[in-house]
Amino acid sequence: MSDHRISLLFGVHAHQPVGNFDFVMEEAHVRCYRMFLQTVERYPEFRFSVHFSGWLLDWLIERYPEDMERLAMMTRRGQVEWFGSGDCEPVLASIPHRDRISQIDTLSDKIERRFGQRPKGAWLTERVWESAVVPSLADCGIEYVAVDDYHFLCAGEPAGRLDSYFTTEEDGRELDLFPISEQARYRLPFSPPEAAVTWLEHLAREGHRAAIYFDDIEKFGIWPETYHWVYEQGWLTKFIEGVLASPLITTETYDEFHARQRTRGIVYLPTTSYIEMNEWTLPGAAARTYHALVEQEKHAGRFDERKAFLRGGMWRNFFMRFPESNWMHKRMLDVSAKLAALPPDRRTPEMQEHLHRAQANDAYWHGLFGGLYLPHLRRAIWNNLLALEAAIGGVSPRLTFPHVERRDLDRDGHDELFLRGNNLLAVVRANGDAALVELSDLALAHNFGDTLRRHDESYHDKLHAANGDNAQHGGIASAHDRVAFLHAIRPQDVEPDTRARGMFDDCWYPAEGPPRPINDYREDGELAFSTVICAGSLAKSYRMEHNRLTVRYHSQDAVGRVEIRLNVAMPSCDGYLGRYILENGDVPCGFGDHLELTAMRRLTLNDGVLGGNLLIEASQPLPLVARAHRTVSQSEAGFEKIMQAVELVFSWPLDGTPRELALTVETRRQPA
């Protein structure tokens, strides 16, 4: 044992998703960011590092300049070190090298202009590590990043050496890596402050060089119970005062420590993220198997020594798990390539900003924190992606409309047919469903096909096993251990969908026998499909005129009925600004309600958030059932039901004679 001083490298990461609600961000600032800054301001000797995503930083500078000046003052007096990253918080590994450079430089420039310091360190979004990011970071002048100690354990490094930084290289560029302590992440701020200081002093006596902490600032006020614990009961004040009073602890910035210490040596990390993320990336069945294996090892007392070899999945698995995420990601990559292909004199800062925002990580993944299940976050991605696509189209050679392109953009083995009108884009997936995967209005910057099916999630098992016991060793429960319910949830609410929730998904109900999904359409020509149903046939085709999409059905010798389903994403969801308008002008209910019509010819989906309408017309009266499609997901606040789309189900009766039906969908902007 020794009594040398240990360096506490204390870093906090602040981020809000692009597209988050203003009231959520305001609460985060009032209950967390401002409170944290006001507290640490009182202790100039307490050095720490911060990372704010650029989008959040812009918002805070505009709304709360006095608090940002407080942060600038602490920077000037040497108390604060700034970390950079991608401006709009992308997972760097998931975007092209050119966009990594643009994202990192944009945030570094912003920090340097506003706070007078150019970052040497960078925060890695969700600590997603792939060695391909090394050249991008190094080319932007980044000298070091912080990732989890778990990454190093997976590389075979012993835990006792993870008290300083290591060096890696890729393609001739070097980068230093700090291992964030998992024990510190789970202790701060959840264990009593005295216990946290005692733990740090214990590390000092064991001869550790540094205790390395870098984690979400939202744990200091936003996570459940933490505002009362951290500020009202004074956890942060007591912790800082305990650290500063200890003869065994000194606070340093990462930069100060990096400048005076030499590297621990070379390291090559595997592709991974933090251990919880690796479980979240797995599909339901695989996640259950993985979780059972982890629990088995914990019960046997072997988990700590074996967890490095129980790795789970990787972040990119979310594109495999969720076709909706994969489609959004591949569309983003395609638009990024179009922007890069523009001559430099045709690109604008606004275009680059749209791309950066369309690359924000939150809506591409799901776990305890990821936002894929939140429609307003996916909508923000699509808003920016489509606004960028419209801007590029405005300075590119004009197409002749309607225009059709064919390719397999999402690499699922089936081509997609891109049918473009003046402002409307319909994407038909040329598989057995022959349904729309996207219906986007570029002028409204909205994708009406942006919905989410019910997926099998392993955490749904907790619905049957929740006990509500959140006590934890005299402290408070971490969100990882907490189980709560924001809504009443029934078993049928979590039953997974057996097929995608697109637009113009069809189901056959024969005169006798069980129904079956029509998932065996074959192509009969451009944008035309047909299939056999019982002793007859069914054909459908797509046609675009201006901002009007027409889908025509033709039946021959079929007896029964066809159900035609449209899952339509409307921004208001079940809010009060979303409503149905009937042909006679009546407003029967909102999108969150159940609606049945015996003979619909014309229906308007009116949305005040969108600033536009979706008009649906049928060539003959059809029975219609409209209902809200909701999913069940878990967040740090608890289990909740979220409306994803309006599900419209049309019934078309067939009597064996040749029949035709046309359904048209048209977008209209509301007058200013």
Indicate whether 432 belongs to any domain: no
Instruction: Identify which of 241, 285, 660, 203 has the alpha carbon closest to the alpha carbon of residue 455.
Output: 285
pLDDT for residue 479: 47
Where is the domain boundary, 234, 254, 271? 271
Of residues 476 and 168, which shows the higher confidence score? 168
Contact between residue 69 and residue 292 where contact means Cβ atoms under 8 Å apart:
no
Of residues 512 and 386, which shows the higher confidence score? 386
CA 631 to CA 401: how far, in whole Å?
Answer: 37
Average pLDDT over residues 279-302: 94
pLDDT for residue 490: 82
Domain carrying residue 626: 458-669
Indicate whether 396 belongs to any domain: no
- Determine how many CB atoms are found less than 10 A away from the CB of residue 293: 14
Indicate whether 198 belongs to any domain: yes
Indicate whether 409 belongs to any domain: no
The H helix count followed by the E strand count for the chain is 19, 26
Tell me if residue 126 is catalytic.
Answer: yes
pLDDT tens-digit profile of 400-446? 788 999 999 999 999 999 999 989 999 999 999 999 999 999 999 99
pLDDT for residue 480: 46
CATH of the domain at 610: 2.70.98
| pLDDT above 90 as % of the chain | 87
Of residues 545 and 52, which shows the higher confidence score? 52
According to DSSP, the β-strands at 144-148 and 173-180 are parallel
Indicate whether 631 belongs to any domain: yes
pLDDT band at 210 (very low <50, low <70, confident <90, very high): very high
Average pLDDT over residues 454-472: 68
pLDDT tens-digit profile of 68-124? 999 999 999 999 999 999 999 999 999 999 999 999 999 999 999 999 999 999 999
Residue 579 pLDDT > 80, yes or no?
yes
pLDDT for residue 467: 41
576 CB-side CA count, 13 A: 0
pLDDT band at 474 (very low <50, low <70, confident <90, very high): low
Query: Length of the chain in residues, anyone?
Result: 672
Of 216, 297, 334, 493, the catalytic one is 216
Of 99, 126, 176, 506, the catalytic one is 126
Indicate whether 215 belongs to any domain: yes
Instruction: Identify which of 635, 569, 637 has the alpha carbon closest to the alpha carbon of residue 607.
Output: 569
Where is the domain boundary, 253, 271, 289? 271
Contact between residue 194 and residue 351 where contact means Cβ atoms under 8 Å apart:
no
Indicate whether 642 belongs to any domain: yes
Which residues have a Cβ under 8 Å from the Cβ of 148 and sit 6 or more positions away? Answer: 127, 179, 180, 182, 273, 274, 275
Among 490-494, 589-593, 604-608, 659-663, which is the least confidently predicted range?
490-494
Segment (H or E) for 111:
helix 97-115
CATH of the domain at 96: 3.20.110.20
- Report the chain's mean pLDDT, rounded to a whole number: 93
Indicate whether 585 belongs to any domain: yes
pLDDT for residue 622: 97
Residue 476 pLDDT > 50, yes or no?
no
Q: Does the reported pTM lie above 0.85?
A: yes
Where is the domain boundary, 218, 244, 271? 271
Q: How many domains does the chain have?
A: 2
Residue 485 pLDDT > 80, yes or no?
no
| pLDDT above 70 as % of the chain | 96
pLDDT for residue 472: 47
pLDDT band at 637 (very low <50, low <70, confident <90, very high): low
Residue 482 pLDDT > 70, yes or no?
no
Residue 562 in tokens: 């066809």
Residue 537 pLDDT > 80, yes or no?
yes
Contact between residue 338 and residue 389 where contact means Cβ atoms under 8 Å apart:
yes
pLDDT for residue 143: 98
